[in-house]
Amino acid sequence: MAKTYGLIGVYSRIVNKIEDSKKYLSLAIEMNIQSGNHKSLFVNELRLAHTYQWETNYHKSNKLFKKLKEQSESDTEHSNYLDFVYQHYGKNLFDQSEYQLALKYVKKALRIRVEKGNKELIDSTEYAINICNEKIKQIKE
């Protein structure tokens, strides 16, 4: 059931039903905690951080992204998600007009993605880097 709740949370966010997204992701997280499913717990917390970002609750999104970043940097169980955490944390920072810091994390994501060799992810990250650079350039002009 936790997997279903997690997906409902994602789809609710996509259709801008933010309260439903938070509700279902929180239910999924609670079930993941109870079952000891650390992988799904991590994924659903990443999804919840994204939902907080969408509602511009940056206090909560920053806190959760930082927690996930620290976990994926220090815990081999979650290290395979590090590029996703960096990319999404970068986007979260970008949405707060923290373009230099966003660029730092998106570049970190790119380094990992180049090593992984996933062309689609590399392309999306290079696009994000270009957008960050454009914003930084606009500010300097």
The predicted model gives 23-31 an average pLDDT of 98
Residues 67 and 129 in one domain: yes
pLDDT for residue 37 is more than 90: yes
Residues 70 and 47 in one domain: no
| Number of domains composing the chain | 2
Helices (H), 15-118: 18-35, 38-54, 58-74, 82-95, 99-116
Residue at token pair 């996933």: 118
Residues 32 and 51 in one domain: yes
For 82-114, what is each residue's pLDDT tens digit? Answer: 999 999 999 999 999 999 999 999 999 999 999
Residues 100 and 70 in one domain: yes
Put simply, whether the predicted model's pTM sits higher than 0.85 gets the answer yes
- At which of 55, 70, 100 does a domain end? 55
- Cα distances from 134 to residues 51, 52, 118, in angstroms, run 26, 26, 24
Question: For residue 49, what are the domain limits?
Answer: 1-55
